Amino acid sequence: MMLRMSMVEETRSRAVEMPEKLQFRVENPLPGEFINLGEESNGWADEMAGKIQFRFEKLTVWQSARRLGAEVYTATQSFPMDELFGLTSQLRRAAVSIAANIAEGSGRNSDRDFAHFLEIAYGSAMELAALLHVAADTHRLDGSARDRLLSLTSEVTAQLSALNRSLDVERTKTPFSRKPQPAALASRLLDSSSLDLLKHGR
């Protein structure tokens, strides 16, 4: 019996060991300002403290998007049945897409890929904002609920923009202002003849 129990314990200990090739790469960790490990008591962070399994769960913007998604689901529960495949579905899909794309992007191996998914998340947030106005205009959502959800959406978009700008990507498809990259900065300072000299040595 003791032998069997020791074998079980050994199996369990091996089960939680992650092969080296599957371990998460953190050579370029995100700046601390974008990470929330529960220092602030905001409910969501407290719940997640000590339960972090994935990189995206540490991101403040993902936590905000998660909260926004839950708020949208709650707000649309009172929508009439004839909107089940209309505004109800559209609002929920847009809200879920924000958090989902942040999570997917954080699992990519380059800042360029991460930026791409952050831009998709930003687009979903814009879609959500537009749909919230439609829901209020058609009296599916009252004005105070719309304003509260728009405020949460605005908070998420600001965090998305800040995180996107922090990435080491020179150009992206969305018009976020970016920090100057060395190559881009040099091209602004040098004229074409100087650049040709640097590139070709003549």
Specify the pLDDT at position 29. 47
Mean pLDDT for 65-80 is 96
- pLDDT band with cut points at 50, 70 and 90 for residue 2: very low
The whole-angstrom separation of Cα 34 and Cα 89 is: 30
At CA 81, angle to CA 78 and CA 85, rounded to 5?
A: 105
Q: Which residue has the higher pLDDT, 13 or 64?
A: 64
Tens of pLDDT, residue by residue over 113-159, are 999 999 999 999 999 999 999 999 999 999 999 999 999 999 999 99
Q: Give the start-to-end residue ranges of the domains of the chain.
A: 56-169
Q: Which residue has the higher pLDDT, 19 or 73?
A: 73
Structure tokens at 139: 């009296």
Evaluated on CA atoms 146, 152, 154, 160, the torsion sign reads: negative
What DSSP element (H or E) covers 128?
A: helix 111-137
* pLDDT over 80 at 198, yes or no: no
**pTM summary value:** 0.64
**What residues contact residue 169 under an 8 Å CB cut-off, 6+ apart?**
111, 112, 115, 178
* pLDDT over 70 at 53, yes or no: yes
- Which option is the CATH number for 56-169: 2.60.120.10, 1.10.3720.10, 1.20.1440.60, 3.40.50.170? 1.20.1440.60
Q: Which residue has the higher pLDDT, 1 or 167?
A: 167
34-55 per-residue burial string, b: 16 or more CB within 10 A, e: under 16 = bbbebeeeeebeeebeeeeeeb
